[in-house]
Amino acid sequence: MVDDIRHAESISGIPRGDCGDEGIHYHVGSPYVRRILGEYAIGGKVTSITVTADLPGLHCNMERVRVFDGETMIFEAPLHSLEGVTYAGPARQ
């Protein structure tokens, strides 16, 4: 299980920001928005999303989600802190 890597198609998270409308959303193949020089702008394109085993938790083993633009990790969070993960079907993996 330690070396298991599951590939996800998209993730979504809890809204944040001043109005609560800036949620965490990443989808493979889509551009993502980053704060660049104080303003929001297109930062690049999501190339992969992985879900892997993490440290043992209180009741079970935890899992970690990582989002990449090429070799650069642009987002990382515990799986349980996200609202949803969509996995690619067998033909897409």
Contacts of 55-61 with C-beta under 8 Å, sequence gap 24+, read 61/1
Question: Would the pTM of this model clear 0.85, i.e. be above it?
Answer: no
Please write the tens of the pLDDT for every residue from 20-50.
Answer: 556 788 999 999 988 778 888 888 999 999 9
Tokens coding 79: 């799986």
More confident residue, 58 or 2: 58
- Give the residue-averaged pLDDT of 6-32: 82
Q: Domain residue spans in the chain?
A: 5-87
